[in-house]
Structure 1
Amino acid sequence: MDRPRIAGILETAVYVDDMAVAHAFYADCLGLKRMVAGERLYAYDAGPGQALLVFHRGHTGDDVETPGGTVPGHDTTGRSHFAFRIDVEQLQPWRDYLARSGVEITSEVVWPAGGTSVYFNDPDGNVLELAAPPLWPNFLA
């Protein structure tokens, strides 16, 4: 049987304790445009056809009925991780910007393929990454 193709990742999510603090970080500090604002979810434009979902921790465990169908409940504890893709020439501007913004870089990795990852935390301790190519074999420059 032929397996259908996956076209990519449409959205990724983090869970936070304080939605206002998270919004200040993701919108004001990182410059992401909020597309949806609700009691349990903020959705941000993370690039063409991509969304970052910021869920209010502890408020998403129950199923949610919508006019289009049921959204299954979900939640998590602890820190999560995701990476933003950036161009190589944006590495130093991001390092400088994070420093000016009071956001500590917790780690930096140069990968065997030659790409660089800069790691830092959001206010809830989620591990964020700025990844410049090449990182993965399928990472297009």
Structure 2
Amino acid sequence: MRPAAILETALYVTDIEAAARFYGGVLGLECILRAGDESVFFRCGAGVLILFDAEKLKARPEGGLPIPSHGAIGPGHVCFRADRQEIARWKAHLEAEGIAIESEFDWPNGAHSLYFRDPSGNSIEFAEAALWNTGTK
């Protein structure tokens, strides 16, 4: 047996409002759920990106959902799939928004990547699907 796909992924942020503006406004992801000032959920293709306020996640109230505690310390990473032309457009868009490009290069297999940071310092990447030889564009 093997999982078919990643359904959701989570990043931990220091300012949920700044993160919501960044992912919804700058990256244009559709917000599908907001849980107060603790978390925000965005649709991304067939999956979901969840942003959790790292500090508020530590102090979960009694009687909430039976979700085991989880979290991370330090910057996380997420990579969004984009073709080479889309990556070029993303670079221009991010620079117009005042977001510094941290790195841009071609991998040994020829796939192109672009890296930058979200307001909480998480590493965000746009890369061609060929990075992992998925056979999809």
TM-score by length of 2: 0.90
State the partner residue of 1:76: 72
2:51 corresponds to which of 44, 50, 54? 54
State the partner residue of 1:130: 126
Change (3 A) 1:139 1:128: farther
Residue ranges of structure 2 left out of the alignment (5+ in a row): none
For the residues of structure 2 that align with 1:139 and 1:129, how far apart are their CA atoms?
Answer: 19
Three-state SS of the structure 2 residue aligned to 1:59 is helix
State the partner residue of 1:25: 22
Deviation at 1:64, TM superposition (A): 6.5
Kindly report the root-mean-square deviation, in angstroms, between the aligned alpha carbons of the 2 structures.
Answer: 1.5
Give yes or no for the alignment of 1:85 onto 2:81.
yes
Give yes or no for the alignment of 1:99 onto 2:95.
yes
Structure with the higher helix share, 1 or 2: 2
Change (3 A) 1:140 1:116: same
For the residues of structure 2 that align with 1:124 and 1:89, how far apart are their CA atoms?
Answer: 27
Deviation at 1:40, TM superposition (A): 1.6
Aligned length: 134
- Superimposed CA distance per residue, residues 62-111 of structure 1 (whole angstroms, 9 cap, x where no aligned partner): 48733xxx111112111000100112221211111111010110001211
State the partner residue of 2:39: 41
Give, as a single letter, the amino acid of the residue that structure 2 aligns with 1:59.
Answer: K
Three-state SS of the structure 1 residue aligned to 2:89 is helix
TM-score by length of 1: 0.88
For the residues of structure 1 that align with 2:74 and 2:2, how far apart are their CA atoms?
Answer: 32
Aligned-residue identity in percent: 34
For the residues of structure 2 that align with 1:64 and 1:6, how far apart are their CA atoms?
Answer: 31
Give, as a single letter, the amino acid of the residue that structure 1 aligns with 2:123.
Answer: V
